[in-house]
Amino acid sequence: MAKVTKEMLIGELINLDVNIIPILMSAGMHCVGCPSSQMESLEEACLVHGLDSDMMVGAINEYLEAKGEA
Q: Residue 40 and residue 14: Cα distance in Å, rounded? A: 12
pLDDT at 1 over 70: no
Q: How confident is the model at residue 34 (pLDDT cuts 50, 70, 90)?
A: confident
User: Which stretch of 24-28, 29-33, 38-42, 53-57 has the lowest confidence by average pLDDT?
Assistant: 29-33
| Topology annotation, domain 10-67 | SP0561-like (1.10.3910)
Distances (CA, A) of 2 to 8, 51, 52, 66: 11, 23, 21, 14
Q: How confident is the model at residue 69 (pLDDT cuts 50, 70, 90)?
A: low
